Amino acid sequence: MSIGVVIFPGSNCDRDVRWATEGCLGLPTRFLWHEERDLSGLDAVVLPGGFSYGDYLRCGAIARFAPVLQSLVDFAAGGGRVLGICNGFQVLTELGLLPGALTRNRNLHFICEDAALQVASSRTPWLSDQVAGGQITLPIAHGEGRYQCSDKTLKQLQDDDAIALRYVANPNGSVDNIAGITNAKGNVLGLMPHPERACDPVTGGVDGRALLKALIG
């Protein structure tokens, strides 16, 4: 029973995630260097926030080719839980584990603030202790978080009940106010808000705890 947190060159939320999962929640956690291929013994893998490979070319475009992610595709296919936070969400879309893409915020600003989020679906383990339609508050911190997809993909997401979280007040221009989505199976979640920054009461909220607890169990 263990969580792996991937470190890419340029990741900067890797230790925050570990503090949240291990320090606040007591879940055994280890770091995974981006060149590792062995994911055995892990129940869940987190792709943390940051600027992997300097965001060169596009956010997440180069991280996609990291050896650890080739193993992650099989890991996810086998039902392992995968959580992509912020840059991790961008990587998951580039990798093709989640549909769509994340583009420059509508107002071009890097937005760093608390965001009220509506639980769009409590179907998956990530939000199963929430009521659909309920609200949680998580911090956001991104310049390229405007979720973008074709009408067809959006319809597919809605049909699959794969939209996990929506912004109450859309800060970045995301299609359909999307803040986070899952795959159809529900074991992969990507979201722009940072649950790991809402686990320790001293940082102003603990709404992220339930979401990270869902990594195990």
Partner 1 sequence: MQRAVWLRAAVAHHGIDPFFNVPRAFRDGCLGLSRFNNPRPELVPRYQARVLVNLRPSVLDPAGEATRAAAARLGVDGVTRLRIGKAVELELEAPDEAEARRRLELLSDRLLANPVIENWSLELQES
By the criterion CB under 8 A, which residues form the site for partner 1?
57-58, 61, 93-94, 99-101, 103-108, 146, 148-150, 173
Structure tokens at 206: 């603990």
Assess whether 22 carries a catalytic annotation.
no
Closest CA to 89 of 178, 197, 189, 216: 189
CB of 153 vs partner 1, minimal distance in Å = 8
CB of 139 vs partner 1, minimal distance in Å = 22
CB-nearer residue toward partner 1: 78 or 152: 152
- Among candidate residues 86, 144, 149, 199, the one labeled active-site is 86
**CA–CA separation, 139 vs 179, rounded Å?**
11
Assess whether 142 carries a catalytic annotation.
no
Closest CA to 13 of 105, 142, 114, 108: 142
Assess whether 109 carries a catalytic annotation.
no
CB of 38 vs partner 1, minimal distance in Å = 26
- Among candidate residues 13, 144, 194, 199, the one labeled active-site is 194
For the annotated catalytic residues, the residue numbers are 86, 194, 196
